[in-house]
């Protein structure tokens, strides 16, 4: 079954998604994520989505060093142990279709 474009973009996107409830109960958290990530999605119960991004004129500029440190910290949380050479070889074989 082919994927719809919306489903494909959800799988490929790392954009943070919040609910209307999050926006109501934790607005500072949602807006801080928007400042940090550059854009967030707000999803209603019926599935409709809205994009929230900071206004360019008033957006707080995030220093590149802090941004990179946060990125490295996220990567470290996702991949706490580096792949072994054998694991890398197997992934390469899977990608090559072997």
Whether 12 has a pLDDT exceeding 50, the answer reads no
Average pLDDT score over residue span 82-93: 90
Could you list the residue range(s) of the whole structural domain that residue 15 is in?
5-96
pTM for the model: 0.48
The phi, psi pair for 3, rounded to 5°, reads -80, 145
Nearest to 71 by CA among 31, 36, 95, 39: 36
Domain of 22, CATH number, reads 3.40.1620.10
Beta bridge partners of 41: 17, 51
Tokens at residue 86, please? 């054998």
Mapping DSSP to helix (H, G, I), strand (E, B) and coil, where does residue 36 land? helix
Summarised one tens digit per residue, pLDDT across range 19-42 is: 999 999 999 999 888 888 888 999
Write down the pLDDT at residue 61: 64
Mean pLDDT, the chain, rounded, equals 81
Write down the pLDDT at residue 62: 60
Beta bridge partners of 40: 16, 52
Give yes or no for a contact between 52 and 39, defined as CB atoms under 8 angstroms apart. Answer: yes
Write down the pLDDT at residue 81: 86
Residue 97: other Cβ atoms inside 10 A? 5
**How many structural domains is the chain composed of?**
1
């Amino acid at each position: 079954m082919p994927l719809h474009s919306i489903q494909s973009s959800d799988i490929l996107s790392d954009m943070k998604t919040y609910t209307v409830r999050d926006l109501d109960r934790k607005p500072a958290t949602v807006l801080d994520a928007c400042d940090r990530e550059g854009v967030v999605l707000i999803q209603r119960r019926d599935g409709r989505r809205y994009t929230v991004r900071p206004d360019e004129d008033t957006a707080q500029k995030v220093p590149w060093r802090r941004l990179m440190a946060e990125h490295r910290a996220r990567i470290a949380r996702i991949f706490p142990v580096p792949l072994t050479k054998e694991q890398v070889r197997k992934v390469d074989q899977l990608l090559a279709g072997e």
